[in-house]
Amino acid sequence: MSMKKIFTATDAEKLIGKSVTVPHGYTSIGKSAFNYSDITSVALPDSITCIGESAFFTCLELMDVSIPNSVTVIGDCAFMFCEKLASITIPDSITSIGHDALKNLTVRCSQNSYAYKYCQKNDIRVEVI
């Protein structure tokens, strides 16, 4: 059994640059880990299974997020107020998306996915891939 390792705001402060890669081994992006950060892009490793509540809240410069197929949960307000993040690709592995997690984004996902149903229910723009 592997240990859960949460990437926190303290960890985020140690990353240098506007384009960041979360190191392998973390299992979740913690609550508010990057909120109000000036990062422009972030790559998540395939060890991540959860993007926590408000993880990228108000990242005004964020333009690109790479979400691996290992992620199953996106928490409340995770990408809220990411004004430059025009669209986001959500993998089929997602089984839970929190309140306002994808507000004001265009979501790219497959038509048979949980994300597609979430977008339809919550009146979020969706592009089928």
1 pLDDT higher than 70? no
pLDDT at 2: 58
Kindly report the CATH class assigned to 1-129: alpha beta
Q: What mean pLDDT do residues 12-37 have?
A: 93
Please list the alpha-helical segments (H only) found in the chain: 9-14, 114-121
10 burial (CB, 10 Å; 0-12 / 13-18 / 19+) is exposed
Q: How confident is the model at residue 81 (pLDDT cuts 50, 70, 90)?
A: very high
Q: What mean pLDDT do residues 19-44 have?
A: 95
Question: How high does pLDDT run on average in the chain?
Answer: 94
